[in-house]
Amino acid sequence: MSSNKPDKNPNKWLVLISLPIQMGIVIFAFSWFGGWLDEKYPNDNGLYKKITTLLGVFLSLYYVIRQVNNLDKKK
């Protein structure tokens, strides 16, 4: 007999495949926001875009590491 309960644990491959898409969206959003800040408050170096893009990269890496650790704990 098989139960009709849905599986609460998502497929690990689906989680891993979606991570690059999520990373790209986060990095793009932070980069776009930095570009908007550079247009609104101009400076010589485009510093806002550089800082926000790096912040987006670090934030997305943190999210990836957290997701991978969660997958590892569910084993």
What confidence category does residue 75 fall into, taking pLDDT thresholds of 50, 70 and 90?
Answer: low
Residue written as tokens 């800082």?
51
53 domain-assigned? yes
Average pLDDT score, the chain: 87
Asked whether the whole model's pTM tops 0.85, one would answer no
Q: 47 by DSSP, 3-state: which?
A: helix
15 domain-assigned? no
38 domain-assigned? yes
7 domain-assigned? no
Residue 52 burial (CB count, 10 A): 21
Q: How many domains does the chain have?
A: 1
Residue 35 burial (CB count, 10 A): 15
50 domain-assigned? yes
13 domain-assigned? no
Task: Give me the domain span that covers residue 34.
Answer: 22-73
Q: Structure tokens of 64?
A: 């990836």
Which helix (H) or strand (E) segment is 11 a member of? none
